[in-house]
Every structure is written in structure tokens, then in C-alpha cells.
């Protein structure tokens, strides 16, 4: 037989005996690990130690910078002389290459344009620094590209 919904006893949901627990809403202070004086003392100590380490490190760095500056000052004239020497050697290689290329051309004199000097107002014994393309005319393209990039970005 089936039961009808109306036949079941109705039960109301009520609070438990003795009532519900109280809701805690009072402020709970955070646990204090250090007092204000202790925090201030810890800050002063950490700052002092940090400044001491910084002073020692800065002293070492300063000494290394002085040493590197001295080494750079000593070696700079040698590097400049080597750079100038290689520059003149490349100019000489360029002249020899021009001589080899133009040996079959009548009236061609190395360093001129068919016998006419390129710079008419300058004495013949004065060195005219060539532009970058003229300097690397007989070198590989990679050498020219590296030099031009270095010149443009520095």
C-alpha cells in the first residue's frame, strides 16, 4: 500500500537543546614576537653590518678599478701603435692590389685617376685617410660589414 504524504508526521527543525554557540566577534590581538625597542635594535644592527660589508666591498672594487685603469694607461700606447701599423699595412696591401689589377691599363698610375692626382690641393707626401669603403675595397665583405657596424654604433 502506498503512503500518502499527508499521513507522515511533520517534524520542525529546531535549535539543539541549550541553543547555538556564541559567535566570536571580539578582536584577537596578534602574537607579538618582538617589542618596539627590539625591532629598532635589530634594524640598527642589520644596517650597521650591511654598511660594514658595503664599505669593505667598495674598497676592494675601488682598488681593482685603480689597477685596471693603470693597466689600460700602460697598454694604450702599444695598442694605438699596433692599430696605426696595421692601418698602414692595409693601405700598402691596397696599393699593391691596385697595382696588380690595373697593370694592363695604359697610363694608369697607382694612387691617381689616369695620371691626374685625386687631391690637387694637397701635397703628394701627405697621407689622406681613405673612407671606409675605399679602405676595405679589397677585403672580404664580412670585414667591411663588421667595421662599418662598429663605426656606426660607436
> Which phi-psi region, left, alpha or beta, contains residue 139 (left: φ > 0; alpha: ψ -120 to 50)?
beta
What is the per-residue pLDDT for 44?
97
The residue count of the chain comes to 154
Note down the domain range covering 84: 40-153
Comparison of pLDDT for 62 and 106, the residue scoring more: 62
Residue 109 resides in a domain:
yes
Q: Is the pLDDT of residue 28 over 90?
A: no
What is the per-residue pLDDT for 4?
60
Residue 146 resides in a domain:
yes
How many domains in the chain? 1
What is the per-residue pLDDT for 6?
59
pLDDT tier for residue 5 given thresholds of 50, 70 and 90: low
Q: Is the pLDDT of residue 96 over 80?
A: yes
Task: Write down the mean pLDDT value for the chain.
Answer: 89
Q: Closest Cα partner for 45 from 55, 37, 33?
A: 37
Distance, in Å, from the CA atom of 25 to the CA atom of 47, rounded to the nearest integer, reads 41
Go through 64-73 and write b for each residue having 16 or more CB atoms within 10 A of its CB, e for each that does not. eeeeeeeeee
Amino acid at each position: 500500500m502506498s503512503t500518502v504524504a499527508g499521513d507522515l508526521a511533520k517534524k520542525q527543525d529546531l535549535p539543539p537543546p541549550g541553543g547555538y554557540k556564541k559567535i566570536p566577534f571580539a578582536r584577537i590581538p596578534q602574537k607579538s614576537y618582538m617589542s618596539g625597542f627590539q625591532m629598532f635594535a635589530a634594524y640598527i644592527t642589520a644596517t650597521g653590518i650591511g654598511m660594514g660589508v658595503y664599505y669593505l666591498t667598495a674598497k676592494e672594487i675601488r682598488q681593482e678599478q685603480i689597477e685596471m685603469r693603470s693597466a689600460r694607461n700602460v697598454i694604450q700606447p702599444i695598442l694605438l701603435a699596433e692599430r696605426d701599423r696595421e692601418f698602414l699595412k692595409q693601405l700598402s696591401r691596397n696599393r699593391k692590389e691596385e697595382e696588380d689589377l690595373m697593370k694592363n691599363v695604359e697610363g694608369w698610375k697607382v694612387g691617381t685617376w689616369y695620371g691626374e692626382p685625386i687631391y690637387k690641393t694637397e701635397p703628394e707626401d701627405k697621407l689622406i685617410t681613405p673612407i671606409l669603403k675605399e679602405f676595405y675595397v679589397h677585403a672580404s665583405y664580412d670585414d667591411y660589414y663588421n667595421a662599418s657596424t662598429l663605426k656606426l654604433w660607436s
